[in-house]
Amino acid sequence: MKLSIIIPCYNEEKTIEEIISRILFLDIDKEIIVVNDGSTDNSFAILEKIKKEKDFKLVSHEKNLGKGSAIKSGLKFVSGDYMITQDADLECNPSDILKIMDCAIKNNASVVYGFRHQKHVYSSYFWGGLFLTQLANFLYGIRISDVTMCYKMIKTDIIKSVPLKCKRFEYCPEVTARIAKKKIKIYEVPVNYNPRSTKEGKKLKRRDGFYMAWTLIKYRFIN
């Protein structure tokens, strides 16, 4: 089974090389697609430099279009049986991808989500994520633990059949809404999580939470 890993990257000069190195270390059949989303720091220069030594495909936006737009750009180059997204920071450990992949294989699952252990600081991000998860469960009659987590492994034919409209962080709620409406079972695997603060580079804003909630509500009633 071949896995396509999309890494949206916007101003992650401190972590992008480490993330790619960790993913390359995974002993699986894989392809890595990095989408530089208009970075204004040294991220793109670093990516161009390490691409000479490391095996990955590099796509670049001239300006910042948002995480959802970066994922959609990456999907154009996906050739694996499954795809998954990996944030370019170090909040999530790529080694957990192996557990998610194992669940997909054992259960012949079409969709497997990673969910965070509830050990991280109970910040506004935690409560916001919990609210969005409960909203998704209520609106779509599903039972998932973490709608905003980046690890969503999805069969490629399914994700490519979904007409994604997202631009920013609405990717997670939109893809969940569309999968739920297709009545596809979502398996879950616990993963590790090392949160960072806004000062440390976290880009999710309060307004993104409102957009994500609206996305869940909107796609409950429209296609």
pLDDT for res 201: 61
pLDDT for res 203: 67
Distance linking the first and last C-alpha atoms of the chain = 31
Q: Is residue 177 within 8 Å of 212, Cβ to Cβ?
A: no
Q: Looking at residue 199, which CATH number applies to its domain?
A: 3.90.550.10
Q: Is residue 86 within 8 Å of 5, Cβ to Cβ?
A: yes
pLDDT for res 39: 98
CA distance 187 to 51: 34
pLDDT for res 204: 72
Query: Tens digit of pLDDT per residue, the chain (223 long)?
Result: 999 999 999 999 999 999 999 999 999 999 999 999 999 999 999 999 999 999 999 999 999 999 999 999 999 999 999 999 999 998 899 999 999 999 999 999 999 999 986 555 455 677 788 999 999 999 999 999 999 999 999 999 999 999 999 999 999 999 999 999 999 999 999 999 887 666 666 667 778 889 999 999 999 998 7
Residue 143 domain boundaries: 2-221
Residue whose C-alpha is closest to residue 151's, from 5, 2, 1? 5
Instruction: Convert 195-216 to b/e letters by CB count within 10 Å (16 or more is b).
Output: eeeeeebebbeeebbebbbebb
100: alpha, beta or left, given left = phi > 0 and alpha = psi -120 to 50?
A: alpha
pLDDT for res 53: 94
Angle between helices 124-140 and 206-221 (to 10 degrees): 0
CA distance 32 to 55: 8
What the block records as the tokens of 134 is 């409960």
pLDDT for res 215: 97
Instruction: Provide the domain count of the chain.
Output: 1
What the block records as the tokens of 161 is 């059949």
pLDDT for res 212: 95
pLDDT for res 129: 87
pLDDT for res 132: 95
Q: Which amino acid is at 60?
A: S
For 84, list phi and psi in degrees, rounded to 5: -150, 150
pLDDT for res 194: 83
CA distance 173 to 134: 12
CA distance 10 to 37: 5
For 158, list phi and psi in degrees, rounded to 5: -75, -50
